[in-house]
Amino acid sequence: MTHRRLRILFRSKTTLAGAALVALVALTAVGADWIATHDPELRQAEFRAPPSAAHWLGTDENGFDVFSRLVHGARASLLAALAAVLFALLLGVPLGLVAGWYGGWIDSALMRCVDILLAFPSVLLAMAIAVGLGGGSLGTVILAVGVVLVPVFVRQVRAAVLQVKTHEYVIAARALGAPDLRILLKTVLPNCAGPILVLATLSTGIAILDAAGLSFLGLGPPATAPEWGVMLTKGVRYLKQREQWLLLPPGLAIAITVLGFNLLGDGLRDAFDPRQR
């Protein structure tokens, strides 16, 4: 990223706020062991106790400390979302490059597959995949959410390649007889980096929401795992008792994190594509 882009990026206060939120969650995830006041999976004396000096956000129905679970949840939720996006990048970027660069039958075949995957509402497809995989672990969630993101990445990268392909420097590289792989990796890919970065940032927010949705449907990690979606699901179960300390913190944590990624993603888009202001 050039100097100019960095300046545009951080000139906007909302982008800065987004970056700060993401940094806050990332730091919490990294330092969870130091920040947490209790072991997130160790029974305390009280069950479903309201917030107190000993338990800042109270305890849940297993007697686990909610604050510590929230802090450790940052790690699980962020890791799951990033892993899903990484999966989508590793699969979607090469496929998008190939489809956009070579065109022809390989492009048609890939785009038909993309059409099929995009014919499902995304939450529904993630659910179907999680069901097919048997559910019940963070790995299932990562794979289900990741697969759903792949067609979006393929389509976006393909569109970017089609645009870059017509630029003179690419034509020049071709005329010089550089091998395809070299042009793709050294010339085309770096010039598609902007849209890919924007999509990856915005997708991380979507991945967190989708993962929470899967947990809510009981297709996520086991019920004792310190993960935001799981915590939210349990908070819902005690809705009737109005035990808000079980319902509010995980939902707020998800909302703040997703908001952070959305703000950052919007800022990145502005920095990379000045027309989109």
Q: Write phi, then psi, for 214 (nearest 5 degrees).
A: -65, -40
Q: Which is nearer to other proteins, 38 or 155 (CB)?
A: 155
Asked whether position 242 contacts other proteins by CB under 8 A, the answer is yes
Provide the 3-class DSSP secondary structure of residue 24.
Answer: helix
CA 126 – CA 95 distance, rounded (Å)? 20
Residue 50 touches other proteins, criterion: CB under 8 A: no
Token duo for residue 145: 């959410």
Q: Does 121 bind other proteins (CB under 8 A)?
A: yes
Token code pair at residue 39: 């072991």
Per rule CB under 8 A, is residue 102 in the interface with other proteins? no
Contacts of 121 (CB under 8 A, 6+ apart): none
Question: Which 136-165 positions form the footprint of other proteins (CB under 8 A)?
Answer: none
Q: Residue 109 interacts with other proteins (CB under 8 A)?
A: no
**Which one of residues 23, 128, 171, 193 is an interface residue with other proteins (CB under 8 A)?**
128
CB contact set of 151 (below 8 Å; sequence gap of 6+): 92, 113, 114, 117, 118
213 contacts other proteins (rule: CB under 8 A):
yes
Site residues (CB under 8 A) for other proteins, limited to 248-277: 251, 254-255, 258-259, 262-263, 276
Identity of the amino acid at 229: G
- Which token pair is 3? 């100097």
Residues that bind other proteins (CB under 8 A): 112, 115-117, 119-124, 127-129, 131-134, 205, 209, 212-213, 216-219, 232, 236, 239, 242, 244, 247, 251, 254-255, 258-259, 262-263, 276
